[in-house]
Chain A
Amino acid sequence: MIKFVLMVNQQGQTRLSKYYEPVELSKRAALEAVAVRCCLSRGKHQCSFVEYKDFKLVYRQYAALYVVVGVSDSENELSIYELIQNFVEVLDKYFSRVVSSSVLKIFRWLQDISNCLFLSVRRVNWMYPL
């Protein structure tokens, strides 16, 4: 089960965060900081899956943007890995270029898309006119 999705830039600032499990506001900042620190500090040669407490983090880097997804233990990491790719491709197609700054501009739409995508994990036909 997907627990949360984060998009962060190279400095660790959160550009998008979506939680699929109730997490308190105060805890969110701490969680994001730790998760992001784990992922940003890893080198190029390292695995994209990190075990953190009782769940796993799957992350992918796209230039200056990191997408981090926290999943429960029973999830297929490779499929989440592909899902992140799918998500970014969808954004790409819709907004013609996904860059860290553009993520901010489209922030509102992003929430909608991520809702559709991560809840249903499906690519086709989400593109109803937003």
Chain B
Amino acid sequence: MSPSVPLQEMIRAIRSARTQCEERGVIQRECAAIRAQFRQTDNGGRSHNLAKLLYVHMLGYPAHFGQMECVRMIASPRYSEKRVGYLGAMMLLDEKQDASLLITNSIKNDLSHSNQYVQSLALCTLACMGSAEMCRDLAPEIDRLLRSSNSYIKKKAALCAVHIVRKVHDLGELFVPSARSLLSEKNHGVLHGAVVLITELCERSPETLERFRKTVPDLVQIMKGLVISGYSPDHDVAGVSDPFLQVRILRLLRILGRNNEAASDAMNDLLAQVATNTDSTKTVGNAVLYETVLTVLDIKSESGLRVLAVNILGRFLLNNDRNIRYIAMTSLQKIVSTDHNAVQRHRGTIVDCLKDQDASVKRRALELSLALVSASNIRSMMKELLIFLSSCPPELRAQAASGIFNAAERYAPSKRWHIDTILHVLTTAGGDVRDETVPNLIQLITNTSELHCYTVHKLYRALLTDISQQPLVQVACWCIGEYGDLLLKGECQETEAVQVTEDDVLDALEIVLQSHMSTPTTRGFALTATMKLSTRITDNVDRIRSIVSIYGSCIDVELQQRAVEYNALFKKYDHMRAAVLERMPVIQKNSLGQTNGELSEEPMKESQPGKVKQEETALPPQPAGQVVDLLDLLGGSQEPLQPGSSVGGSASTQLTAAPTSAGGDLLDLLGGFEPTPLAPAPTVTVYEKNGVTLTLSCEQQSESGLTVTLTASNSTDSDISGFTLQAAVPKSVQLQMRAPSRDSLPAHGGAKLTQLVVLNNPNKVNLKMRIRVSYTCQGSVVQDMVQVDSFPGL
């Protein structure tokens, strides 16, 4: 068998191995030698062998055959062997190994050894790898050692107690009295151990926390001693006296002072003293200051102290050391919601940190900047954020984009600015925005009718430059389809116009349709846009027809369906085409929350047939452009075809199927719809969704007075609670809502809810009312809005 080599030799041999394979070979040889050595019962070099084995273990190779050797060596009377044995036990054994139980007895004996170093070895090992049973067995021993007179042992025992408390929470009770008495020690090591132990005990159980609150004055005293004391060579680190102990005590004070007025008051002076006296030129001082700031912000401190803390953080932000800037921003993040104004003062520095080279700092700066955006600084902040977006690392893009959208939505100073910002984001980071951005943007655009011309020109230009960003392309296609006539008119006040011919526009849309970069969704947008243009342009209708018919045989089912239906629109229902493809009505903001996504008309079809049937019974002519469901448009356009009767019901549903998908393009519109006046009954159903029905009836009381009765019922299986109605009327009409009869609707129409609304219309304006319904059903809150434009009986 090969002679055993000393540790250094082996390490040298391993290091000189060039390849992994060579290294493994060396290690295997050594392990074989070690195993052979272990089998020999009495061997002088046992400690060396075990040391080698530990090194091998550290490199990651299996060393479990050394476990029994560890156990044997721990039991040996020689100190050198004991020591390596314990080291091996700490590294090789953990509670999952059975061998760990074998050393319990050795540890127990060694804990009562006369030599303090042996005791410390045992304590160390127990603190490292003590299992729950071992801890339970030996806890009384540890408690006894906590009271010994030897500070070296006390320190180690305190740390062992920490481990025991972590492993077996119940044993914490055992250590409470000893921990308390340890606080009066002078030795910093013991003090440190005691503070750690108390911290651990307080974190685990609130009752212990209560008991230790009484120690706050003692802790304050100790801290004061540390801060004011002169230079002590034993504990000095770069000018600060035992910063580690200071940090620990501050942390314990934080835990004790949280949510407790009395304790917090006791600490106020101390914290102010530490904050002002600590030298902040070195990192150690900053570490202590940081802990102080965290403590101040967490306890119930007075406002002056909080301002001091935020100022310290502000100073950190200006520090050259990147680490300190990073933690300053992390802390500011936590308090930005509570101390908003204080953090606002440092906004400039935070925005500068956006340009830092470090990714962690950038991430923090981004989060903070987004939290600091407010109505007053939106323009300048947005400029900075947009610059950041163009140069930011890819993992932060999505977060930045969505943050910018939220901020823009909340604080946009003008619509044009808002649209510009969104377009800017789409062009820079279009690939990383969320899906609901597209319908949100479209809704925004339809709402700003004065900027349609400007928007469509900008989007057209953007489309020409780049068709890879899908959300941008989708929005652009939609706008071109809707406002193509404005584009072709060629003039625009807000921006310089491009002379665009119909062919150019169709070319652009065709490129999108055929590009391999376009997703099926985008293609759908483009196809519908092309179709809409057929009513907006005059010359190239044939070209459009040919494009549409080509896609009638497309592999993608969605596109094919659309193309076939559009073809049908050209052929059989050409007379309806103009009406169907008219401008989309302004979309209500609320309804978007109920959509199933951009392109879902199919679900709308399912939920609407009931309503369609109702509408067929009476088809009032609907002028286009009103805020109504598109189905009403169709209901109106069918009037010349059939008289309003239930016979027409079935045929018209068939008809509605085709034009619905053609016209009801992207967005599911209002949940509510026009009341259709039914001649016999004066009540009208204004809202019917998810089983909740709201009917309206009105009575003319006097020349200008009107009483409207709203009745609500619930036909679902679950109860509805918190049912409220709110109403809004035109300006000149006065409205008074009486109290409702009840505010909950039992299931299956158990009871109805009525609410009276008294209106006074002195100027005899055209009466319209907007009603908002909100209720809680099965734990979720539902809100809906409906507009009533014509009242029955008027």
Residues of A within 8 A of B (CB): 14, 16-17, 20, 22, 25, 28-29, 43, 45-51, 76-79, 81-83, 86, 104-105, 107-108, 111-112, 115-116, 119-125, 128
Residue from A20, A22, A77 within 8 A of B323 (CB atoms): A77
Given contacts A111-B90, A128-B152, 16 further A-B contacts (CB under 8 A): A25-B62, A46-B322, A47-B323, A47-B361, A82-B237, A83-B244, A86-B244, A107-B11, A107-B58, A108-B7, A111-B87, A120-B155, A120-B189, A120-B192, A122-B188, A123-B244
A126 to B784, CA, bound (A): 71
A121 to B194, CA, bound (A): 12
- 30 residue pairs from A and B, CB less than 8 Å apart: A14-B59, A22-B94, A22-B96, A22-B129, A25-B60, A25-B62, A46-B357, A47-B322, A49-B323, A50-B360, A76-B247, A76-B287, A76-B291, A78-B324, A79-B243, A79-B287, A82-B237, A82-B287, A86-B244, A108-B51, A119-B124, A119-B159, A120-B189, A122-B245, A123-B235, A123-B237, A124-B234, A125-B152, A125-B189, A128-B152
Report yes or no: B327 in contact with A119, Cβ–Cβ below 8 A.
no
Nearest B residue to A128 via CB reads B117
A125 partner residues in chain B, CB cutoff 8 A: 152, 189, 234
Residue from A29, A47, A79, A82 within 8 A of B358 (CB atoms): A47
Residues of B within 8 A of A (CB): 7-8, 11, 15, 51, 54-55, 58-60, 62, 83-84, 87, 90-91, 94-96, 117, 124, 127-129, 152, 155-156, 159, 188-189, 192-193, 234-235, 237, 243-245, 247-248, 251, 283-284, 286-287, 290-291, 294, 322-324, 326-327, 357-361
Report yes or no: B84 in contact with A121, Cβ–Cβ below 8 A.
no
A79 partner residues in chain B, CB cutoff 8 A: 243-244, 247, 287, 291
A88 to B357, CA, bound (A): 28
Report yes or no: B357 in contact with A45, Cβ–Cβ below 8 A.
yes
Report yes or no: B124 in contact with A49, Cβ–Cβ below 8 A.
no
B322 partner residues in chain A, CB cutoff 8 A: 45-48
A81 to B291, CA, bound (A): 13
Report yes or no: A81 in contact with B192, Cβ–Cβ below 8 A.
no
Report yes or no: A51 in contact with B283, Cβ–Cβ below 8 A.
no
Interface centre among B7, B58, B84, B90 (most CB of A within 10 A): B58
Take A45-B358, A78-B283 as given contacts and tell me if A124 and B189 are in contact as well, using a CB distance cutoff of 8 Å: yes
A76 partner residues in chain B, CB cutoff 8 A: 247, 251, 287, 290-291, 294
B59 partner residues in chain A, CB cutoff 8 A: 14
Residue from B55, B124, B237, B247 within 8 A of A86 (CB atoms): B237
Interface centre among A28, A116, A124 (most CB of B within 10 A): A124
Nearest A residue to B88 via CB reads A111
Nearest A residue to B61 via CB reads A25
A109 to B247, CA, bound (A): 28
Report yes or no: A29 in contact with B237, Cβ–Cβ below 8 A.
no
A49 partner residues in chain B, CB cutoff 8 A: 323, 326-327, 360
B367 to chain A, nearest CB (A): 13
B243 to chain A, nearest CB (A): 6
B51 partner residues in chain A, CB cutoff 8 A: 107-108
A120 partner residues in chain B, CB cutoff 8 A: 155-156, 159, 189, 192-193
A116 partner residues in chain B, CB cutoff 8 A: 124
A29 to B159, CA, bound (A): 28
Residue from A81, A105, A108, A119 within 8 A of B87 (CB atoms): A108
B248 partner residues in chain A, CB cutoff 8 A: 121
A5 to chain B, nearest CB (A): 12
Report yes or no: A115 in contact with B124, Cβ–Cβ below 8 A.
yes
A121 partner residues in chain B, CB cutoff 8 A: 192, 244, 248
Report yes or no: A112 in contact with B192, Cβ–Cβ below 8 A.
no
B192 partner residues in chain A, CB cutoff 8 A: 120-122
Nearest B residue to A121 via CB reads B244
A51 to B363, CA, bound (A): 11
B358 partner residues in chain A, CB cutoff 8 A: 45-47
Nearest A residue to B250 via CB reads A76
B244 partner residues in chain A, CB cutoff 8 A: 79, 82-83, 86, 121-123
B54 partner residues in chain A, CB cutoff 8 A: 108, 111
A68 to chain B, nearest CB (A): 15
Report yes or no: A17 in contact with B284, Cβ–Cβ below 8 A.
no
A29 to B51, CA, bound (A): 20
Report yes or no: A124 in contact with B188, Cβ–Cβ below 8 A.
yes
A16 to B59, CA, bound (A): 9
Report yes or no: B237 in contact with A78, Cβ–Cβ below 8 A.
no
Nearest B residue to A50 via CB reads B360
Nearest B residue to A80 via CB reads B287
Report yes or no: B58 in contact with A17, Cβ–Cβ below 8 A.
yes
A107 partner residues in chain B, CB cutoff 8 A: 7, 11, 51, 55, 58
Nearest A residue to B12 via CB reads A104
Nearest A residue to B123 via CB reads A119
B208 to chain A, nearest CB (A): 18
A116 to B124, CA, bound (A): 8
B324 to chain A, nearest CB (A): 7
Report yes or no: A48 in contact with B291, Cβ–Cβ below 8 A.
no
- Top 10 nearest A-B pairs (CB, nearest first) are A78-B287, A46-B358, A79-B287, A79-B247, A47-B326, A22-B94, A124-B234, A29-B60, A122-B189, A45-B357
A50 partner residues in chain B, CB cutoff 8 A: 360
A82 to B288, CA, bound (A): 11
B117 partner residues in chain A, CB cutoff 8 A: 128
A82 to B359, CA, bound (A): 23
Report yes or no: B243 in contact with A82, Cβ–Cβ below 8 A.
yes
Report yes or no: B58 in contact with A16, Cβ–Cβ below 8 A.
yes
Nearest A residue to B160 via CB reads A119
A47 partner residues in chain B, CB cutoff 8 A: 322-323, 326, 358, 360-361
Nearest A residue to B117 via CB reads A128
Take A14-B58, A121-B244 as given contacts and tell me if A81 and B283 are in contact as well, using a CB distance cutoff of 8 Å: yes
A115 to B327, CA, bound (A): 28
Residue from B8, B127, B360, B361 within 8 A of A119 (CB atoms): B127
Report yes or no: B90 in contact with A115, Cβ–Cβ below 8 A.
yes
A28 partner residues in chain B, CB cutoff 8 A: 60
